[in-house]
Amino acid sequence: MSLRDKCPILEFKDQGDERGKLVVIEGEKSIPFAIQRVFYIYGSDATVVRGQHANRESEFVLINVAGSSKVRITDGKEEFVVELNRPMTGIYIPKMVWKDMYDFSDDSVLLVLASTHYDGNEYIRDYDAYLEEIKNG
């Protein structure tokens, strides 16, 4: 399975009407996990790089609910970049996939849905250590 297949773009239905837009995201329905944590990144700019880690246990869905940003995704063998710029589009990132978020527009609000509560011990923040862990299975 390719990295793009493991990290699909998710399209959420716009259920809005003449009163405005409405996008509903439900854990284990719209996304492939139960949501345990929600956070968002804002106030970054085009020079900032966020993420720069992989997670042993957490899965994520990233959605730019305002503005835009780019996400570089790699598993050490394959790599691709996604631009998130529509509030009804997200990217699913499974366990043990490296992610860098960057090129934030001034109005960017990047919403992150996570499958676990925060545990700093499950983060791999050194890319070489990540590659070694992937190699050793």
Structure token digits, residue 81: 């970049």
DSSP letter (8 states) at residue 115? S
Least Cα distance to 98 among 120, 128, 137, 66 occurs for 128
Q: 131 by DSSP, 3-state: which?
A: helix
Q: How far is CA 30 from the centre of its chain?
A: 15
Domain containing 45 — which CATH number?
2.60.120.10
Residue 35 lies in domain: 3-135
> How far is residue 125 from each of residues 55, 96, 98, 132, measured CA to CA in Å?
9, 11, 9, 12
Domain count, the chain: 1
Say what the pTM is.
Answer: 0.95
> How far is residue 115 from each of residues 35, 61, 90, 95, measured CA to CA in Å?
5, 9, 15, 10
36 with 115: CB under 8 angstroms?
A: yes
Profile the chain (137 residues) by mean pLDDT over runs of 10 residues: 97 93 96 98 96 98 98 98 97 98 98 98 98 93
Active-site amino acid positions: 53
